[in-house]
A and B are shown apart, each in its own frame.
Chain A
Amino acid sequence: MADLVTQDRAETAADMPALAVELHPGGAGWCVRADNLGLELTAPLGRRVESLLRVTVAEPGASDDNDGDVPDISGDHELLGDGVRFIPHLPFEMGVPFRAILDLRELRQPGLTDVKTLAFSFPEETATSETEVSHVYPSNDVLPENLLRFYVRFSNPMRRGQAQENIEILGPDGTPAADVLYRVPVELWDGSMTCLTVLLDPGRLKRGVGPNRMLGPPLRAGQPYTLAVGTGMIDAYGRPLRDGFSKSFSVSEPVRKPIAIEEWKIRPPAMDSRVSLQLTFPRPLDWAQLWRGITVVSESGNAIGGHIDIDPGETRWRFTPDAPWQGGLYSVRVVPGLEDICGNTPYGPFDAALWSTGEMGLETAVNSISFEVKVS
C-alpha cells in the first residue's frame, strides 16, 4: 500500500492533454503518463520524446551547488497512441517531491505551446515507534580490559554514515576517550541495518603493536567507562534517535587464553522431549557468533533443526529442537574461529606471542562435544 499525493495547479478539460501518475499495467511500478496529445506519436518524434515528457526531482540540492545543468530522472519512454509513458529506472522514492513536465512544443504542432506540470510525491511511511537503542552486547557491566567489540542493536532499521560522529567511549572523567574505537573503512552493519559492530582499536589491544606501545590499551582495568550513542544516529525513516543511549561499565583484568571447549558444561535433554540442550560457558562468548557458531548434529552427521536462545550475560546457550529428541549420540560442533568477547578462539588467544605457520594449534584444539540422549 502506498499513498500518492498529487498537486494540481491547472484546470483542464477532459479532452485536453493531461498528466497522471499511475501504476504501470505491466508491473513496472509507478510511472507518469501523458494523454490526449491529439495525434498519433510515431517514430519521427525520435529522441524528442525525452524532452516531451520529463520527470525531475523538485529540489535535489541547493541551486548554487551546480551549474544549472541538472539531469532529469533516468527512465524509459513508452509511446501509447496519442500518449506517452515515463517509467523511472529506479522506483520513485518515498518522501521526495517530484515534478512531471509535459512540453507540448516538442510536438511541433501549431497551437501546441503549453508546458504542463504535475507535482507529486509518495509520503514516506514511518514506523509507528520512535527508534532507540534496544540492546548492547556484551550485556555485562563488567568487561575485560581487552574487550574487542560491542554490538549495538537498534529498534528500527538505520541509515549508514553517522556512527563515527555519534558513538564514543567516555572515559573515567566523563569526557570522550580518544582513539579507543577503531575507525573502520566501512560501517559494519548487519543485513537488516539494525545491528552495528563497534570495534575497539585492535592496534591498542595487541601488546607490543605500535599504537599499544604509544597509547596503551584502549580501556584500563579498574576504571569506569561509558559507551555513549548520540541521538544523531539516523534511522531508515530519516529520524534521529528518541533518546541518547549510554551503557556504563567497569573494566576487569584482560583475558588472554583460548576458549577451552572442554570446560563447557553441557546439560543433555531427555528423549522424546523438546527440552532444550543447554551449554554453559565459564566466560562470556561473542553474542553474534553464538547464533551461528554452534550447531548440533546427529551421530550420522546430519544437522538438527531448531532454534537458539542466548541468555543475558552470554554465558549460556540453549538449543530447542524443532522435533522431539530421539535417543542416540549427538555432538555439538563449534565452528573454527568462534570468539569470546576478547577475540580469543579455541585455537589461541587474540593477543599471543609470535606464532609461525603450523604452530597455531589447528590440529589440537577441541571443536566438538559429544552427548547422548537417553530415556529420562
Chain B
Amino acid sequence: MNPSAPSLHSRREALGLGASGLGLAMAGSVLNAVRAQATTDEPGAPRSAGPLQSAGAMTFGPGNVLFVGDIAGSAVHAFALRDEDLTPQTGVELGNFHNFEGVDLVRGLDVKLAALLGTTYDNIVINDMVVHQPTGQIFLSVERGRGADAIPAIVKVNRGKLELLKLDGIPHSKISVPNEPDQTARLEFEPQQVYAITDVKYYKGEVFVTGISNQRFASTLYRIPYPFTDQKATTTVEIWHPTHGEFETRAPIVRQLVLEVGGEPHLFGVYACTPLVRFPLAALKDGAHVRGDTIGELGYGSNPVDMLTFNNPFDHKDYLLVTIDVRGGMQIGVADLATAPPQPTGGPIDFGPGGLGKTQRELPIRAEHMAMLNSRWGVVIWRHPKTAHRLDLGTLMSPYFFDRRLGMSEMNWPDGPDPFDYRTHRNEIDRV
C-alpha cells in the first residue's frame, strides 16, 4: 500500500518522538503533534469495503447471494455469503404478537453505527435494509461520510449487536451499470455522468435495476442475467410514459418488485408523486420502449420509501405495501394488481388518488426503511415517535404495523379496560 510506511525500526523512532502517549512522562493534558510521513490515513477504500465504492439498494437472491447497488462504482455487486458470514438469529425476541407490542432491536441505531465505524452520528447515512430470511439476520447498507470520500460498509445485526460484514474475503462478482459503449476518444469528460441506482431486485435468474442519470433525463431499467456473464448481456430498457394525461413522464422508477400475477410475472414500479405502474416482464425486451399501465395513483406530493409484500396472518392473503415519506404505508391486495384496469388518459384534472389508490388502505407506518422479518413481523428503522432525535431499529406486528406501547389509550393503564385480552397474553413473546 504505502511505500513510505515506516519499518519496525522507524516505528521505534516514532515512539521515541512522543506519539506514544503513555510512554512519555507528560503531566496533565498536553497536546503532542507529530507529523508523520504517510498517506495511508488518507481516505480510500479500506479492505473491509472489498470492491464497493458505495453501498446503496440491496436485495438477497438464492444461495445467500447479497446484491448491492453501487452508484459511485457504477455497478451491481453480488456477494455469495458463506456460512461464517451469517448467524442464525434463532431465539431473538420479536415482541408480543397478540398484544401488538414490538421490541427495539437496536436503540440509537445511528449512534451505534457511528461508534462501530469510527465517526459521529451525523456522518452516518443508512441507504437500505434487507433481511436474510433463512437466518432472520438484518443487513444494512451504510456510508460513513456524506462526501466524495464516503466509505461504504455493510453492517449486520447479530442479536442486537452491530457487526461489520468484512467483504474482502467473500466470493464476489459484479456487472457495470450502465454498460457505456466503448469510449476510445481521450476527451476530458469533466462533469461525470452518474447513474444513480434507485433499486435492485432479483427474480428467477435476473437482476432488475432502476435509476436516474444526473445528465440524460430518462428512466432506464436494466435487466441483467445472474450469474453475471462476460458478455454484455445487460438488457437496457427505457421506460417511457408518453401518454399525456395521468401518466408520469420520464421520471425514474423509485421502487420496484417483480410479482407473478394472473399467471405471468410483472414488474411493478412506484414513481415519485406516486403512480403505481405495471409492466409485463415479457415486454421488457432489449431496446424496447415500454409504456407501463398506471393502475394506481397513491397520492400526490410524495415519494415512495419502500415496496414489499406480506401475507396477512389473519386472512392469509398477500398484500403489496408501499411506504410513503409524507404519508404512512399504503396497502393494496396483490390479487387486485393483476386485474386493475389501466387508468384512463386525458380525463379532467384529478388530484387523486386514482385506480387502486382509491381502495388502498393506509397503515400507520412512519419508517425510514422497512422490511419483513417473517410472516408475523416487520422491521423498521424509524425516528422513535416519543424521542424523535433517536433513530431505532425495531419490530412491528403484521398486518396492523403499529406498536401499542406508543399509545396513550385507556387500556394501557393497569386498571383500564382490556377488550383485546392483553393481560391474558402478556407473556406470549415471539422469537425468531
Interface residues in chain A, defined as those with a beta carbon under 8 Å from any beta carbon in chain B: 1-12, 14, 16-30, 35, 55-57, 59-62, 64-67, 69-74, 88-94, 96, 98, 116, 118, 120, 122, 148-149, 151, 157-161, 179, 182-186, 188-193, 195, 197, 199, 202-203, 205-211, 213-214, 234-236, 286-289, 291-292, 295-297, 302-308, 322, 337, 339, 343, 350, 352-355, 357, 360
Contact = CB atoms under 8 A, between A and B. Distances in A.
Nearest to B248: A203
B27 interface: yes
B2 interface: yes
Given A2-B42, A6-B34, A159-B147, 14 more contacts: A8-B26, A10-B22, A28-B40, A60-B121, A65-B121, A65-B390, A91-B41, A186-B71, A190-B214, A191-B192, A191-B194, A197-B215, A291-B189, A306-B187
Contact of B22 (A12, A182, A295, A306): A12
Contact of A66 (B47, B72, B390): B390
B16 to A, nearest CB: 10
A214 B350 CA distance: 8
Nearest to B198: A185
Contacts of A352: 242
10 contacts: A60-B111, A64-B387, A93-B118, A93-B144, A186-B212, A190-B193, A214-B300, A289-B215, A303-B184, A304-B185
A42 B110 CA distance: 36
A305 B46 contact: no
A333 B205 CA distance: 37
Interface in B271-329: 272-273, 288-289, 297, 300-301, 303
B338 interface: no
Nearest to B168: A89
A73 B46 CA distance: 14
B103 interface: no
A148 B212 CA distance: 14
A160 B11 CA distance: 38
Interface in B349-408: 349-352, 387, 389-390
Contact of A160 (B110, B147, B352): B147
A209 B245 contact: yes
Contacts of B44: 91
A9 B192 contact: no
Interface stretch (B58-66, B156-164, B227-235): B156-164
A197 B247 contact: no
B71 A339 contact: no
B40 A29 contact: yes
B116 A74 contact: yes
B30 A288 contact: no
Contact of B48 (A57, A65, A74, A214): A74
Nearest to B182: A303
A67 B107 contact: yes
CB-CB nearest 6 A-B residue pairs: A66-B108, A208-B244, A303-B185, A61-B111, A27-B1, A159-B146
Interface string B333-344: 000000000000
Contacts of A354: 242-244
Interface in B8-30: 8, 11, 14-15, 19-30
Interface in B43-97: 43-44, 46-49, 56, 71-72
Contacts of A59: 120
A329 to B, nearest CB: 17
B29 A7 contact: yes
Interface in B99-133: 107-108, 110-112, 114-121, 123, 125
Contacts of A353: 244
A305 B15 contact: no
Interface of B, secondary structure class, is loop
A90 B151 contact: yes
Interface string B246-286: 11111110100000000000000000110000000000000
A288 B217 CA distance: 12
A61 B216 contact: no
B415 interface: no
B41 A70 contact: no
Nearest to A338: B216
Contacts of A71: 112, 115-116, 161-162
Interface in B156-186: 160-164, 166, 183-186
A337 B26 contact: no
Contacts of B151: 90-91
Nearest to B391: A65
Contacts of B30: 7-8
Interface residues of B, number: 120
A297 B29 CA distance: 66
A288 B11 contact: no
B432 interface: no
Contacts of A116: 22
A292 B320 CA distance: 41
Contacts of A21: 19, 21
A60 B119 contact: yes
Contacts of B144: 90, 93
A60 B254 CA distance: 32
A12 B120 contact: no
A2 B41 contact: yes
Given A25-B5, A160-B146, A307-B187, A20 B244 contact: no
Contact of A8 (B22, B166, B244, B351): B22
B191 interface: yes
Nearest to B218: A337
Contacts of A306: 186-187
A305 B185 contact: yes
B178 to A, nearest CB: 12
Contacts of A303: 183-187
A206 to B, nearest CB: 5
B423 interface: no
Contacts of B250: 202
Most buried by B among A90, A190, A295: A90
B429 interface: no
B184 A302 contact: yes
Contacts of B248: 203, 209
A62 B388 CA distance: 13
Contacts of B110: 61, 65
Given A4-B19, A185-B272, A288-B193, A193 B215 contact: no
Contacts of A24: 5, 40
A211 B273 contact: yes
Nearest to B352: A210
B410 interface: no
Nearest to B243: A354
A23 B5 contact: yes
Contacts of B146: 159-161, 234
A144 to B, nearest CB: 15
B7 interface: yes
Given A25-B6, A190-B191, A286 B215 contact: yes
